[in-house]
């Protein structure tokens, strides 16, 4: 008896010491255990109902009414304490929680497993990275922010507790259940990340649970199916497995979840840890001093149910010291069994009441003492908000781990000097990774499915020899990134062989442990570990390869003898565009998306345009890139971001002008020189002596345009014989339409017409495109290179990686990617599709400085961003800063001329709806619009690039509704409105 009393005194003293341990920050919710609200609830609960508060049952929002009724029955009859929500969707989840709360006399605590956010359980919600990826991140600030955001999202769908974070140390690569759910093998990294995640959630008054105590990392058995055994000595368990839990307890975590494990060193009876009093009470409560909520792992898992009956096993968990029983399979029986245990003296009602008070205190801390039903309005928008998507992108970027980068192959430089190919392994069609690579340059793509034949592999291998950069993505589209490599030996051999090539970039979208199964992978030139496969990780790795983002991740686990935990290389981003969300550039995504969507819808509904493609970039970040509607009013081909549009007059600032500026840098082009200085056949013409400074500013007295095609007509409406023929020949090689071929020398007649046309009377602003017909030849003469378009591609577009910026797109792209323009009933007498809309440009063979360029918004934006950067992009300088400053300012404002040199600029005074730009566009901004319904604009003051592409001339150029609606400039104003002040 004396021995028993002494032992009890020792245990009591030990508990007191720990409960007063200054190192332990006790959970905040405990302050409410004796609150008025808790007291009032306790008074209203019968002893049996107090037991019921200790139980949580599963609830699904994607099941039928039978399931809902079964939950309602347990709430009404047994007055259970809470629900653990599983699969479903946010709206159904919130509706059900509102219903369940309505009929519950005591507010229910709602919990879920949201280790990586609501996406773990609910459809149409955000999946944040798995903990293995988070373990690669340097620093914890982002993880704290993630914790806050996850807490806000859980609370928004009516939940109050997250069964997270996982703080198991994954020191067993073969672990089938923890693995990618762990922060890694370094216990200190696990502690730092676990505390940050926990503190982020708890800062929003969300209950959290560190799991799976006392440590589930070193197992090769899944406790969902059997009882794993851990055979380590106590010193090892204390120093490793238990260590993170000790530190999170000291940091004030609100809950701890008990694992289903057999740990002989802690309990020699073979009892699962969930049912073990030595583990739950003596170790967790008494030794570690934890006073928060102790939660069981799911009580339907084989690790605890094997050999144990429902109800009885729940009672045993209570006797072991658990406070909250999760996923109880038979609640009434479990309560009955606990009532029996009380009568048998195995546990007292006082102990049950204390645990009930603890649960009620948690309910008060999360705000259930002032419960209000959740609102369904704006639910999706508030869950999938821009800030959450920004956090997700930041986390994904920060996790990317570069393990090899020989010769600094990435980010890829000098796009004009590389010939690139990609291979996606594990897919049978073009992967999102490959589509993302296309954002940056020309890449030839191949795919090798998991069952690729040796013949197919050999075929791809042979084709790759023609490229000097090969990008290989190893994909994994399973729901979870398991440490299993499910590819054929032939594919493994292919990877091994390619690892020896000095021009290969490997991107591994899989669990990092699979690297150990890839022979020679550690010797590859570039090796990137992305930890998991999703559209976002594929996008981010593509951006990393081309310098849109950087990498600072470190391996959270060791990969055999190949790489040790903590290894990784730093890579800087910012070389080229980053593709991200508006919040990354200090913009409001709701304002931006809602504003642009509504204005485009208005234009499409009014049949001002059949569709459009719009891009917004700020701070060299593409924050909006979206296509709308259809290519024409009559077809069903939706506009895609890869589709290319006729740019019309945007050609002026996109083709000849950048080359002219380069030549100005080289001292070969003089703004004070005139046309006749470069084209001698203009001497003695009325254009002689007019300086280009005035011509480019549209006050050189040149006529606006010449209807060249009309001069080829006879009085009877037929074409002159020496101009057009119905069939092609050596003399008539230029195709205008299927039955209209132009004379090879007609370009000279165009030049002659420009030479002869009278001048305007006054040197004042009057828009003219005539000089831009001549500039390509001037460029050829000054560079001693031809043809002009090759000069343009070599000097500008190829270096930018602007692969869709092109003349005569039918020579490079399928017709399906080219958006049609006008139905021409007066010149070509056909639907214009694949050829330039401008009559003068088509009569120049499709290549003119006035019109003729086609592009998608993405590639045009690269050129405009180079302008915003004052001549630099992708690590290359194209044009000197001083030159761009000269060309983008208005040289003749005193003459009431707002134009720059080639560039359009805002009116000198804002004229409301009739202005050419938005009210908030700065006076330093510049760009151009196009007749086909296009606009490209840059604002260096706010570092904004705005591209609007449409085909408003379909079916006829007489369709001016786009102008009447002022859609382009109204959208531009939305962009400025979206900038957070």
For residue 763, how many other CB atoms are within 10 A of its CB?
A: 15
Region 722-746: mean pLDDT is 87
Is the CB of residue 691 less than 8 Å from the CB of residue 674? yes
pLDDT grade, residue 222 (50/70/90)?
confident
Q: How far apart are CA 141 and CA 613, in angstroms?
A: 37
pLDDT digit string, tens, across residues 572-583: 999 999 999 999
Region 823-850: mean pLDDT is 91
State the alpha helices, DSSP H only, in 251-348. Answer: 277, 302-305, 312-320, 331-343
On the question of a cis peptide bond just before residue 692, with omega within 30 degrees of 0, the verdict is no
Nearest to 931 by CA among 821, 856, 830: 821
Q: How far apart are CA 191 and CA 422, in angstroms?
A: 39
Domains along the chain?
A: 2-382 (3.20.20.300), 400-576 (3.40.50.1700), 600-669+784-968 (3.40.710.10)
Beta-bridged to residue 939, according to DSSP, are: 944
The three-state secondary structure class of 796 is helix
12 has a pLDDT exceeding 60: no
Round to the nearest angstrom and report the end-to-end CA distance of the chain.
74
Look at the pTM and tell me if it is higher than 0.75: yes
What is the total residue count of the chain? 981
**What burial class does residue 672 get, using C-beta atoms within 10 Å of its C-beta: 0-12 exposed, 13-18 middle, 19+ buried?**
exposed
Is the CB of residue 772 less than 8 Å from the CB of residue 652? yes
98-123: burial string, b at 16+ Cβ within 10 Å, e else:
eebbeebebbbbbbbbbbbbbbbbbe
pLDDT of res. 740: 87
pLDDT digit string, tens, across residues 628-640: 999 999 878 999 9
Nearest to 285 by CA among 185, 197, 354: 354
pLDDT grade, residue 711 (50/70/90)?
confident
pLDDT of res. 375: 96
| Mean pLDDT, the chain, whole residue set | 94
DSSP state of 148: H
Phi, psi torsion values for 297, nearest 5 degrees: -70, 170
Strand order across the 210-213 sheet: 210-213, 255-258, 293-296
For residue 514, how many other CB atoms are within 10 A of its CB?
A: 22
223-236: burial string, b at 16+ Cβ within 10 Å, e else:
beeebbebebeeee
CA 394 to each of CA 143, 949, 953: distance values in angstroms, whole numbers, following the listed order: 10, 30, 42
Q: How far apart are CA 314 and CA 296, in angstroms?
A: 9
Region 517-523: mean pLDDT is 96
pLDDT of res. 824: 87
pLDDT of res. 547: 98
Region 881-903: mean pLDDT is 97
pLDDT of res. 899: 97
Is the CB of residue 509 less than 8 Å from the CB of residue 471? no
Q: How far apart are CA 938 and CA 950, in angstroms?
A: 18
pLDDT of res. 337: 96
Asked whether the CA dihedral 335, 338, 342, 344 is positive or negative, the reply is positive
The residue to which tokens 């405990």 are assigned? 30
Q: How far apart are CA 4 and CA 26, in angstroms?
A: 30
Please give, one letter per residue, the 3-state secondary structure of 818-869: ECCCCEECCCCCEECCCCCCCHHHHCCCCCCCCCCCEECHHHHHHHHHHHHC
pLDDT digit string, tens, across residues 28-73: 999 999 999 999 999 999 999 999 999 999 999 999 999 999 999 9
725's tokens: 């023929």
Q: How far apart are CA 934 and CA 927, in angstroms?
A: 11
pLDDT of res. 808: 96
pLDDT over 90, % of the chain: 85
Region 286-297: mean pLDDT is 96
pLDDT digit string, tens, across residues 359-386: 999 999 999 999 999 999 999 999 999 9
Minimum mean pLDDT range among 379-393, 738-752, 936-950, 962-976 = 738-752
Minimum mean pLDDT range among 4-13, 255-264, 531-540, 823-832 = 4-13
pLDDT of res. 6: 39
Q: How far apart are CA 23 and CA 389, in angstroms?
A: 36
Nearest to 53 by CA among 65, 62, 69, 41: 41
Q: How far apart are CA 921 and CA 898, in angstroms?
A: 14
Q: Tell me which long-range contacts 590-597 makes (C-beta under 8 A, separation of at least 24).
A: 590/381, 590/385, 590/386, 591/974, 591/977, 591/978, 592/616, 592/623, 592/624, 592/974, 592/975, 592/978, 593/624, 595/971, 595/974, 595/977, 595/978, 596/624, 596/626, 596/971, 596/974
* Pairing, β 944-950 against β 401-405: unpaired
445 has a pLDDT exceeding 60: yes
Nearest to 138 by CA among 569, 567, 554, 537: 554
pLDDT grade, residue 710 (50/70/90)?
confident
pLDDT of res. 21: 64
The residue to which tokens 């809902």 are assigned? 68
Region 150-178: mean pLDDT is 95
pLDDT of res. 956: 94
9 has a pLDDT exceeding 60: no
Region 104-122: mean pLDDT is 97
DSSP element (H, E) containing 469: strand 469-474
The three-state secondary structure class of 213 is strand
- Which residues contact residue 167 at a Cβ distance below 8 angstroms, ignoring those fewer than 6 apart? 183, 190, 191, 194, 210, 211, 244, 245, 248
State the chain's maximal CA–CA distance in angstroms: 127
**What burial class does residue 872 get, using C-beta atoms within 10 Å of its C-beta: 0-12 exposed, 13-18 middle, 19+ buried?**
middle
Q: How far apart are CA 789 and CA 805, in angstroms?
A: 11
pLDDT of res. 482: 86
The residue to which tokens 């740019």 are assigned? 647
pLDDT of res. 922: 97
Is the CB of residue 726 less than 8 Å from the CB of residue 745? no
5 has a pLDDT exceeding 80: no
Is the CB of residue 383 less than 8 Å from the CB of residue 391? no
Region 771-799: mean pLDDT is 95
971's tokens: 């959208």
pLDDT grade, residue 3 (50/70/90)?
very low
In the chain, helix, strand, coil percent, each to 5? 40, 15, 45
**What burial class does residue 5 get, using C-beta atoms within 10 Å of its C-beta: 0-12 exposed, 13-18 middle, 19+ buried?**
exposed
245 has a pLDDT exceeding 80: yes
- Which residues contact residue 972 at a Cβ distance below 8 angstroms, ignoring those fewer than 6 apart? 917, 918, 921, 935, 937, 946
pLDDT digit string, tens, across residues 819-828: 999 998 878 8
Q: How far apart are CA 373 and CA 110, in angstroms?
A: 13
Q: How far apart are CA 323 and CA 358, in angstroms?
A: 8
* Pairing, β 526-529 against β 82-85: unpaired
Region 432-444: mean pLDDT is 98
The three-state secondary structure class of 944 is strand
For residue 704, how many other CB atoms are within 10 A of its CB?
A: 11
pLDDT of res. 10: 38
19 has a pLDDT exceeding 50: no
């Amino acid at each position: 008896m004396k021995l028993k009393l002494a032992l009890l005194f020792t245990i009591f003293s030990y508990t007191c010491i720990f409960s007063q341990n200054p190192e332990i920050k006790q959970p905040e919710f405990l302050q409410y255990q004796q609150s008025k609200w808790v007291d009032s609830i306790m008074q209203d609960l019968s002893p049996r109902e107090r037991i019921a508060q200790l139980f949580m049952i599963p609830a699904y929002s994607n099941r039928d009414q039978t399931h809902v009724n079964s939950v309602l029955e347990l709430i009404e009859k047994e007055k259970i304490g809470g629900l653990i929500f599983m699969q479903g969707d946010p709206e159904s989840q919130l509706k059900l929680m509102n219903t369940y709360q309505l009929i519950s006399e005591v507010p229910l605590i709602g919990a879920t497993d949201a280790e990586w956010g609501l996406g773990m359980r609910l459809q149409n919600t955000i999946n944040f990275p798995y903990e293995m990826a988070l373990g690669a991140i340097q620093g914890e600030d982002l993880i704290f922010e993630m914790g806050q955001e996850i807490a806000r999202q859980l609370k928004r769908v009516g939940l109050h507790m997250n069964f997270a974070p996982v703080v198991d140390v994954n020191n067993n690569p073969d672990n089938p259940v923890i693995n990618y759910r762990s922060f890694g093998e370094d216990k200190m990294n696990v502690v730092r990340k676990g505390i940050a995640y926990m503190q982020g959630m708890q800062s929003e008054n969300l209950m959290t649970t560190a799991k799976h105590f006392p440590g589930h990392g070193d197992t090769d058995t899944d406790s969902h199916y059997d009882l794993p055994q851990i055979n380590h000595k106590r010193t090892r368990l204390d120093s490793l497995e238990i260590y993170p839990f000790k530190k999170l307890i000291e940091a004030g975590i609100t809950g701890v979840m008990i694992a289903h494990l057999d740990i002989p060193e802690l309990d020699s009876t073979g009892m699962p840890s969930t049912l073990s009093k030595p583990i739950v009470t003596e170790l967790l409560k008494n030794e570690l001093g934890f006073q928060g909520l102790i939660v069981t792992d799911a009580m339907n898992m084989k690790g605890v149910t094997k050999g144990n009956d429902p109800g009885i096993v729940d009672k045993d968990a209570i006797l072991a010291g658990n406070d909250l029983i999760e996923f109880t399979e038979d609640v009434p029986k479990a309560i009955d069994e606990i009532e029996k245990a009380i009568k048998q003296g195995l546990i007292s009602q006082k102990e049950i009441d204390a645990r009930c008070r603890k649960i009620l205190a948690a309910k008060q801390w999360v705000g259930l003492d002032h419960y209000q039903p959740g609102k369904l309005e704006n639910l999706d928008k508030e869950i999938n908000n821009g800030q959450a998507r920004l956090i997700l992108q930041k986390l994904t970027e920060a996790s990317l781990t570069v393990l090899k980068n020989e010769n600094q192959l990435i980010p890829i430089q000098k796009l004009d000097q590389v010939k690139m190919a990609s291979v996606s392994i594990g897919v049978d069609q073009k992967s999102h990774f490959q589509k993302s690579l296309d954002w940056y340059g020309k890449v030839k793509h191949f795919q090798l499915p998991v069952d690729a034949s040796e013949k197919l592999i050999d075929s791809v291998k042979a084709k790759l020899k023609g490229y000097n950069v090969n990008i290989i993505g190893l994909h994994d589209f399973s729901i979870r990134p398991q440490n299993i490599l499910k590819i054929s030996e032939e594919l493994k051999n292919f990877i091994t062989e390619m690892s020896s090539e000095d021009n290969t970039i490997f991107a591994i979208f899989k669990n990092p442990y699979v690297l150990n199964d890839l022979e020679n992978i550690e010797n590859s030139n570039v090796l990137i570990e992305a930890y998991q496969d999703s559209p976002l990780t594929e996008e981010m790795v593509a951006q990393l390869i081309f310098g849109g983002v950087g990498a600072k991740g470190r391996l959270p686990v060791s990969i055999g003898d190949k790489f040790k935990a903590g290894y990784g290389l730093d890579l800087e981003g910012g070389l080229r565009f980053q593709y991200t969300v508006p919040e990354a550039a200090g913009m409001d995504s709701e304002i931006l998306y809602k504003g642009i969507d509504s204005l485009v819808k208005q234009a499409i509904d009014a049949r001002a345009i059949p569709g459009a493609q719009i891009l917004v970039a700020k701070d060299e970040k593409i924050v909006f890139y979206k296509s709308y509607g259809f290519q024409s009013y009559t077809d069903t081909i939706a506009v895609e971001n890869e589709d290319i549009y006729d740019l019309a007059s945007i050609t002026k600032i996109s083709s000849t002008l950048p080359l002219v500026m380069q030549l100005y840098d080289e001292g070969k082009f003089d703004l004070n020189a005139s046309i006749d200085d470069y084209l001698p056949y203009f001497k003695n013409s009325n254009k002689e002596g007019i300086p280009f400074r005035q011509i480019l500013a549209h006050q050189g007295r040149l006529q606006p345009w010449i209807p060249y095609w009309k001069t080829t007509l006879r009085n009877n409406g037929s074409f002159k014989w020496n101009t057009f023929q119905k069939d092609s020949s050596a003399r008539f090689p230029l195709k205008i339409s299927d039955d209209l071929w132009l004379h090879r020398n007609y370009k000279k007649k165009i030049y002659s017409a420009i030479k002869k046309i009278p001048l305007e009377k006054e040197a004042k602003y009057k828009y003219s495109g005539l000089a831009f017909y001549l500039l390509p030849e001037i460029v050829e003469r000054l560079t001693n290179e031809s043809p002009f378009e090759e000069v343009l591609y070599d000097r500008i577009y190829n270096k930018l990686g602007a692969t869709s910026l092109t003349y005569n797109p039918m020579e490079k792209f399928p017709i399906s990617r080219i958006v049609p323009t006008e139905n021409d009933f007066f010149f070509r007498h056909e639907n214009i599709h694949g050829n330039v809309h401008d009559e003068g440009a088509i009569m120049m063979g499709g290549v003119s400085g006035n019109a003729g360029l086609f592009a998608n918004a993405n590639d045009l934006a690269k050129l405009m961003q180079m302008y915003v950067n004052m001549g630099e992009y992708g690590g290359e300088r194209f044009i000197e800063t001083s030159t761009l400053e000269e060309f983008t300012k208005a040289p003749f404002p005193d003459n009431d001329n707002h134009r720059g040199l080639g560039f359009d600029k805002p009116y000198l005074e804002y004229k409301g709806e009739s202005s050419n730009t938005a009210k908030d566009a700065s006076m330093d901004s510049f760009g151009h619009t196009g007749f086909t319904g296009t606009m490209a604009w840059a604002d260096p003051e706010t570092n904004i690039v705005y591209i609007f592409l449409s085909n408003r001339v379909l079916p006829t150029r007489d369709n001016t509704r786009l102008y009447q609606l002022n859609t382009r400039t109204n959208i531009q104003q939305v962009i400025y409105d979206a900038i957070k002040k």
